[in-house]
């Protein structure tokens, strides 16, 4: 059983979340709290495994509480925030304060049923987070990155997929890449509005241009495109030009945007001219697509278990045979550039061969 504490100033939200989460036999709602002061006492007494936390609350805001929690009593925290541009900015601030994931509250376009399915999955992923690694990653991400030197211009395309723990991991990778790094496409499982805030934050600290993808955006050296929340992103090719298609569509591997959709499109459009990277996250999204990329001639990389916050997606990709190299997080930027310049990845390990 995963023990969950719900922290929200709205009695209606607390009741809805309690009722919906209690439907899953693997979750136990050990309590609720209307503000951080009550939550603090219940954390000590009830010892929850995961917290759901609102950002805007009386007496103490959720971000201040989160920072104190990460300092004195680190726990996996999922932010449940309003689906607005300002809510997205606050949620991203909370992610950088230590939350492992973020979810929007139900509204006109997001039903309680949809929300509860997503939240249950995120709670189970959060419960699997290695908090020691998460705290280490937060500390490393706050440090000024050592940026790799400029490389020869290349028309390679890099495709990256991540989920739980991915915001920090992606920041660590992108912030180390030079201004002329290969055109990069990223799927990080996040709701809409939140991906825009994520892209803006990365653009402020990276040498590359980072933006939320728009339909028709060109994929060029020095630019990284983040798939918008609630939209799939696909790579397309017209002559020598690569560009993205951003579209609606059904959930794939339980996600929209889906890493599978991106990787499959890169395998078709770029083939051997691509590098695929699968990083920390729960589940199997991207494992089949990465295998397709490898079979089409692309070089494929998985983040290693020791540096993953959740070793789910990389593990499944390795199991399916879609990975050429297993690489620690801090070595992934160098590995990407080596692949872009067709250099060997000498210091990286290959997956164990099946006997």
Calpha distance 133→139 (Å, rounded):
10
Provide the pLDDT confidence category of residue 355 given band limits of 50, 70 and 90.
Answer: very low
Q: How many domains does the chain have?
A: 2
Calpha distance 172→146 (Å, rounded):
10
Catalytic residues: 163, 189, 285
Residue at 261 is within a domain: yes
Final residue belonging to a domain, choices 66, 96, 127: 127
Answer whether residue 43 shows pLDDT above 90.
Answer: yes
Q: For 102-139, write each residue's pLDDT tens digit.
A: 888 776 555 777 788 889 999 999 999 989 889 888 88
Whether residues 41 and 96 share a domain: the answer is: yes
User: Beta strands of 165-215 (E only): which ranges?
Assistant: 183-188, 209-212
Calpha distance 231→213 (Å, rounded):
10
Domain CATH for 109: 3.40.50.2300
Nearest residue to 81 via CA among 98, 109, 57:
57
Provide the pLDDT confidence category of residue 354 given band limits of 50, 70 and 90.
Answer: low
Whether residues 188 and 336 share a domain: the answer is: yes
**Domain enclosing residue 80, as ranges:** 2-127
Nearest residue to 78 via CA among 90, 68, 91, 88:
91
Q: Rounded to two decimals, what is the model's pTM?
A: 0.91
Residue with tokens 């030079």: 178
Q: Identify the three-state secondary structure at position 351.
A: coil
Whether residues 101 and 164 share a domain: the answer is: no
Note whether 211 and 223 are within 8 A (CB): yes
Of all residues in the chain, what percent are helix, strand and coil, respectively (each to 5)?
A: 40, 25, 35
Structure tokens at 167: 């915001």
Q: Express as a percent the part of the chain with pLDDT over 90.
A: 71
């Amino acid at each position: 059983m995963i023990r969950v504490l719900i922290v929200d100033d709205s009695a209606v939200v607390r009741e809805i979340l309690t009722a919906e989460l209690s439907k899953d036999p693997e979750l136990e709602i050990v309590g609720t709290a209307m503000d951080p002061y009550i939550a603090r006492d219940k954390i000590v007494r009830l010892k929850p495994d995961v917290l759901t936390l609102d950002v805007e609350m009386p007496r103490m805001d959720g971000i201040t509480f989160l920072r104190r929690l990460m300092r004195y009593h680190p726990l996996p925290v999922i932010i449940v925030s309003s689906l607005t541009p300002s809510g997205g900015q606050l949620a991203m601030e909370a992610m950088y304060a230590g939350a492992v994931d973020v979810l929007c509250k139900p509204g006109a376009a997001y039903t309680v049923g949809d929300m509860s399915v997503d939240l249950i999955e995120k709670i189970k992923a959060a419960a699997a987070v290695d908090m020691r690694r998460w705290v280490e990653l937060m500390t490393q991400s706050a440090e000024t990155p050592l940026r790799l030197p400029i490389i020869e211009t290349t028309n390679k395309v890099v495709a990256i997929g991540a989920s739980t723990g991915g915001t920090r991991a992606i920041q660590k990778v992108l912030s180390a890449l030079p201004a002329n790094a290969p055109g990069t496409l990223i799927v990080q499982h996040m709701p809409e509005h939140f991906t825009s805030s994520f892209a803006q934050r990365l653009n402020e600290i990276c040498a590359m241009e980072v933006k939320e993808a728009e339909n028709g955006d060109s994929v060029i050296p020095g630019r990284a495109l983040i798939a918008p929340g609630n939209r799939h992103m696909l790579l397309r090719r017209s002559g020598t030009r690569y560009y993205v298609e951003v579209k609606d569509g059904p959930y794939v591997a339980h996600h929209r945007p889906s890493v599978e959709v991106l990787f499959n499109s890169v395998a078709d459009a770029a083939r051997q001219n691509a590098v695929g990277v699968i990083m920390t996250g729960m589940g199997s999204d991207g494992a089949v697509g990465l295998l397709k990329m490898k079979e089409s001639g692309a070089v494929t990389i998985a983040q290693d278990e020791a540096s993953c916050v959740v070793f789910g997606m990389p593990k499944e990709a390795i199991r399916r045979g879609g990975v050429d190299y297993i690489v620690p997080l801090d070595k992934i930027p160098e590995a990407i550039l080596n692949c872009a310049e067709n250099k060997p990845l000498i210091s990286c390990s290959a997956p164990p061969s099946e006997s």
